[in-house]
Every structure is written in structure tokens, then in C-alpha cells.
Structure 1
């Protein structure tokens, strides 16, 4: 009943909002236009609210399929979805069906790990990311991906914990997939149906939904990579995201969502729980991060990263402002975060940082290296007969350096895990993060193999 009343209030204020003297729809439009012109950002959806008013909700540019981005275009929220999952769990807490500090296993018997310590993981520890589950102990991205929340929990049966529950913070998507499955089992509804019935519909979120995998992304929510400064539409790499990153939403819906955060979406006690961080990480609460603006103003926020799109949401409790941004370029380029920072600067009366071009000198370097590698490989293959004539069998060890790019190519994911302090990744995802480097590396691996095969073949023919 409370949510239905809130939805009516939200809908009543959506059509018009005066904005503040310092921040108007025209100001926002001008800033977004400047940013897109400087960066080539293909498409973005933006909303800014204050109190119960919508200052602006709009779409700019085009989707990956070429359609205009409007205020009602569903786009990927990625990990911003975690605040929706947290809300769903806290709704069950308010109904007395779940207690935050009780073990998950009591509500979700199928939640079983190979580590006996997992029996002590509480619902709160899932939401504040202190369960002890971590990429370093369970490689959620590089393992075969599940098709459902039930499968996502089932694949944990061979997993172990990185730390004892409640002793350390580790951002791990599986925490929220387990939480979403808990919502399914306790409520008796599929997670997508639960969100629609208890969150989306009551709040008037007409263009929002949640999906399971990359295969379920609609055209409007697909994204791009920048290659040599140009945005290229590409499919999202394989991945499962429901509960942790599966929500799709629009600028108009996110306006309602942000307004609802300060207007009775939960009881004051539950809102306090949602915004209270753990002792292990004072900056992460239950699906929300605690942060400060450049001016030192306390904010609540959460970002979301896919490999082809990103999203951000932010609340400034002191002034009542809310901001959401969904950009259809990937995590390597951080367009939504840059736009969020710029909009916050406008709210605070500051000048946003000048946007920078996505064209990187390193991209040009690797493009030139790729061309040079192809040319050198062609030369090496063409001269293979001459090389074989000058070398005896004992000297063929000199071909080994040509195979080094193959070794690096096959080991790139483990190398990344080391450099990223244990964060998991699959091979194709490295390609999305560093496209020009990986194009060169794959080319170098193929070129080296071609030269080795040609020279050995010529040597055998001598």
C-alpha cells in the first residue's frame, strides 16, 4: 500500500520540474552535447532529480542498433542492479520473512559450499560483500556460466571461501546472485516476477526488467567499444548477471527510482540498515556505496560495469538531488562515471572537467605494431628456404622466441588475475578491455607460428 501511494506521488511530479537556477534541462543538454562531441559517445540516458521533482530525464544519441536513445529506452544498469536486489531482500525483512543476521542456509537450503564455514554466512554478509566468497576462491566469470539463479547457486557446491564469513570485504557478484535466489525461494516467485510485482510496478517503472544472461540483452541495451577513437557496436561477452547486474531501466524510470529512495520506499529503520556499511569496509553498505563529492559532500552511489556499457546512480541526501547515467560504452572507457562527476559538479556550482577523446596514442602504437608484425611475418615466411639452408637442426632452437607471443596469448587471463589482485576474468573479456593490444598479440602469435612452421617445413625438405 505504501509503495502504491508512493508511485502515485512519483507519477504526479514526473511531467514537469522547474529545476534549480544553477541546473536546468538546457544546462544538462549543453553539457551532454559537449561531452558527446568531444568523446564520440554513441548513446547515453541521463536523469537528474531533486526531492520529489524531476529536473530532467532524457536520452541522447543512438543505440547499438541505430535507434534513438530516448527517456524511455531500456539500457543496462549492470551492478547498479545490486541496490534493487538489496531492496527486494529488505522488503522480505520488513514482512518478517527474512532476518539479516540469520544464516542464508536457513532460508536457502540449496546454498551449500565445499567449505563448512559457509554455513555461517548471513544474509547481511551477502549484501555487504563480507561473506568470504571472492573471485580468488571461486572464479565466477571464467567458469561455465549458469542459465538461472538456481544454477548460479548450484555451481557453488565445489567452491571454498577466501576468508571466514564476516572478516573481510570482497566485491563478488555471486553474493548478489545468491541473495536474488533467496528472494525467489522465500517469496515463491521468480526473481524477475518478484521485482516486477513488488518494485517496478508499484513505483511506476514501466520500462524496467531484469534478465539472466548476455543473450537476453535487447538491442537497446547493447553497447560499444572504442577502437582507434571510433565507437564500434559489439555483442557483450558471455556472462550471467541476474541479481548482481541484470536490471534494465530507462532515464524516466530511474527518475522515479531515485525519488523513491527518499520518500518511503522502505521504513526509516530499513533505509538506515541499507545505508549502514560493515566494519570491514566503511564505504560499502547494502547495495550502496558511501562516498563524497570533490567538495566533500556525502553521497550514496553505486556504479555498474559491463564490457560494452556502464551505469551510475547517486544520491545527495543533504540536498535531495539524485543522478543516474547509463552509457552504451564499456568499462574500459568509464563514460558514465565521467558524466556523473560532471553533473555533480554542475549541481555543486563547479565547472566540470573537460572531456577527453577516447583516442589513445597506445591504440595507434599497437595498430602500427600489428601492421609491422604482418609485414615481418610475410618476410620471414618468404625467406624460410634461405633460413633453412643456413641453419642445421641443432640451431633450430632459435625459433623458440617466435613462439613467445603464443605463450603470452594463452596465459593472458592468469596474468591479468595477478595484476588485478585476484579478480577473475575470461580470455575474451581481456580482448574487450584492451582491444588493440590483444589484436596485436593474437596477430603476433599467428605470425610467429607461421614463421616457425614455414622454416621447419623448409628445413625438413632440405
Structure 2
């Protein structure tokens, strides 16, 4: 056991440095037994991370929502295959992301944010009526916002109170809470996560978002160990807040703009949870690779070497920004005689910048993102395109006037 713990510590510390994670917490179980709970690094106040530091688990929260729905289904209060909200969509469709809803049909981050699950249903009503369930997998937080409302209607309790009474407290998760809106509802002892740019980690406030049901659970490594230890009794299923990967493992990841997390259950009976206080950025898509390497360690395999392209990505973008400035100065000092019509091409960087939320949405399967959130995701990318746009437009104006 000591050799496993030593390997885990060495791996997490190595990967944390490689991926620029200021703080990481890990929980590992075998069956219903807790094997290890560890914390590394520091929080945004500079204090050491502990196994009781409150951290966001983002979309890992969906597993808790799915369990709440399953509990009520087992109690006969929810029919998983009966359409809800006056649509053809069933609870099973919502939990499996096969409702026909998508971020393209209902851009859940760009639209005004609801404050409650009931308001989330109102916002989604038109999209629900036109949804064609069962036509394919489309991941969207809206599905789980609606699932949270189902829990309220079936139980007669507020969603977050239901989680506390029927999941957190029975599992002994005393330091775990669920919230509706970030950052408004974050607990007082929650420490900000970090953003990242140009090799530096900076404390940031999570953008304003509705997260009930989809990604609103705030917990600790110690409590996540208790959650994982319950899974053998709960028989988690693919499409019920969990997804099966290409190695037959059940898992779910979670990404905020200031935090990342993931959980994984191996066929050999191990449970792994990872939480990092640094958000998703270009070159850092979460803790997925760290979870895989930890699974290799507990299964007696040689873990893959930790790699991250986070710093390299930002350095390339920084170099492109400097190149844009150099070319701008050169263009002003040595103007060339191009036909004025060609100056229209200088609008291309601006067009890319304006279209960037849509382009990233396509890259991430149609997910929605706002310009403000885009700056959290990759400030260097926004700066490069912004600088390039201003420079090119300035040159075009100067040349047009000559």
C-alpha cells in the first residue's frame, strides 16, 4: 500500500507541475473501502490544500442528479420512460443526453440565466416542444437542469435540499453542498479557483452561471471518497450520470472555467476522484489523463508520463501576438501598393474573433460559450486575435486613405 501511495504522490506532483495545477485533491477507493485521500499544492489564498478543502466538481455533479432521479424512480415517484413537461422527452432521455435538446437549440450559457430549476424549465419550454428525443447523443447542461426540476416535482423538496437529505447526509458527506448559481451561492469557505495565461495561474471568479442539477456540487476529497465507496451498492449505469469509456470504465469529467474534476470506476473495483483548482483552458481539457494514470497505478500498470500542452499553447499564441505587432510596424513603415480591394482581407482576423465562440462550439460538439467565458478559456487566443484585428484594420484604413 505504501508503494501505491508513494507512486500516487509522485504522479500527482509531477502532473500538477506539468499541467500548472496549483492545487489537486485525490480520493481512491477499492470496493467500499477508502484506500487514499490526499491533497497537494495550495489554494488561491496561498494556504495548503487539505482533504477538507471545498472544491467544485463541475459536471461530475450529474452523477448525483442521476442518482436522485433513480431513487425517486425506485420509489415509484418518477417513471423513467414517461414523457415530461408536455413534450415527448422522458427522464431517461434527459439523463442520457438523448432528449434532442442541445446547446445549439438552446444556448444555455449565452441566454439569460435562470435562478431556479423551475425557471430553467420555463426557459427550455419552446425547445422541449420541438425536440426530437432518441435521435442521437447531444451533451447539454439543460438536460440536467430539467432533471433537477423533476426531482423537485416528484419529491416536493427543493433540489439542493433533496440532495442534502437523501444523498449527502446518508453517505456521511458532511462538507458537501449543492448550489443554484455561481458565484452567488458559493459557500463562504470556498476558495476561488484559478485561470491560466502565459504560464501564470491567477485567482478568478467563476462566471455567472446557473448550475443546479448540471454542475453545482461543491465537495471535498474526503467526501468524494465516501461517495466512491457507495458506488458498489448503487450499481451506477452508463447513461445515468456516468459514461463508459473505451476501456470499459465508468467515468464522468467536470469542467468549470476555474476548476476541473473527474471520477472513474475501474472493472477491477477501484474508484478514483480527482479535483483541481484550475479551470479548463486551451491546452488543458481537464483531469482525464491524470485519472487514467492513477487507474494504471492501482491496477499495477506503468502509468503514462504526464504531459500537458498548456504552456506551449500559450507561448505559441504569445509569439503570434508579437509577430502581429512586428508586421504591423513593418507595414506602416514600408507601405506597399496593394489594390484597395485586397485590404478587405485584413478583416479576416476580426471575423475569426467574432466567430470564435461558434467555432469553439463546433470543436466541442456544439457547446455554447460567451465572449466573456472565452476570455477565461484562452485569454492569449483572444489577445492575439484582438491585437491582429486592430493592427490589420489600422493598416487597411491608412492604405485606403493613400
Could you state the TM-score of these two structures normalised by the residue count of structure 1?
A: 0.78
2:273 paired residue number: 324
Unaligned runs of 5+ in 1: 1-19, 106-111, 113-118, 266-270, 276-283
CA gap 1:299/1:213 in 2 versus in 1, 3 angstroms:
same
1:417 paired residue number: 361
SS in 1 for 2:183: helix
1:285 paired residue number: 239
Shift of 1:334: 3.4
255, 280, 289: which one pairs with 1:338?
A: 289
Asked if 1:164 corresponds to 2:132, the answer is yes
Asked if 1:82 corresponds to 2:62, the answer is yes
* CA distance in 2: counterparts of 1:29 and 1:215, whole angstroms: 31
**Residues 18 and 308 of structure 2 are in contact (CA less than 8 Å); yes or no, is this contact kept in structure 1?**
yes
2:214 paired residue number: 244
67, 70, 73: which one pairs with 1:93?
A: 73
* CA distance in 2: counterparts of 1:421 and 1:53, whole angstroms: 37
CA deviation map 1:149-208 (0-9, x unaligned): 222111113325776223322222111110101112222222111111111112111111
SS in 2 for 1:198: helix
Asked if 1:301 corresponds to 2:251, the answer is yes
1:405 paired residue number: 349
Shift of 1:221: 5.4
1:363 paired residue number: 314
SS in 2 for 1:207: coil
Number of matched residues?
A: 398
CA gap 1:455/1:147 in 2 versus in 1, 3 angstroms:
farther
1:6 paired residue number: none
* CA distance in 2: counterparts of 1:396 and 1:126, whole angstroms: 54
* CA distance in 2: counterparts of 1:220 and 1:351, whole angstroms: 35
SS in 1 for 2:60: helix
**Residues 130 and 167 of structure 1 are in contact (CA less than 8 Å); yes or no, is this contact kept in structure 2?**
yes
**Residues 195 and 201 of structure 2 are in contact (CA less than 8 Å); yes or no, is this contact kept in structure 1?**
yes
**Residues 136 and 162 of structure 1 are in contact (CA less than 8 Å); yes or no, is this contact kept in structure 2?**
no
The two structures, once aligned, show a CA RMSD in angstroms of 2.7
In terms of mean alpha carbon deviation, does 67-76 or 447-456 score higher? 447-456
1:145 paired residue number: 113
SS in 1 for 2:279: coil
SS in 1 for 2:387: helix
CA gap 1:322/1:330 in 2 versus in 1, 3 angstroms:
same
CA deviation map 1:370-394 (0-9, x unaligned): 12323444565678xx89xx89xxx
CA gap 1:411/1:327 in 2 versus in 1, 3 angstroms:
same
Task: Tell which structure's C-alpha radius of gyration is larger.
Answer: 1
Shift of 1:301: 1.4
1:8 paired residue number: none
Asked if 1:27 corresponds to 2:7, the answer is yes
**Residues 207 and 250 of structure 1 are in contact (CA less than 8 Å); yes or no, is this contact kept in structure 2?**
yes
SS in 2 for 1:262: helix
* CA distance in 2: counterparts of 1:224 and 1:302, whole angstroms: 21
381, 385, 388: which one pairs with 1:441?
A: 385
**Residues 56 and 275 of structure 2 are in contact (CA less than 8 Å); yes or no, is this contact kept in structure 1?**
yes
SS in 1 for 2:249: strand
**Residues 225 and 330 of structure 1 are in contact (CA less than 8 Å); yes or no, is this contact kept in structure 2?**
yes
**Residues 315 and 321 of structure 1 are in contact (CA less than 8 Å); yes or no, is this contact kept in structure 2?**
yes
**Residues 110 and 369 of structure 2 are in contact (CA less than 8 Å); yes or no, is this contact kept in structure 1?**
yes
CA gap 1:52/1:417 in 2 versus in 1, 3 angstroms:
closer
* CA distance in 1: counterparts of 2:396 and 2:135, whole angstroms: 52
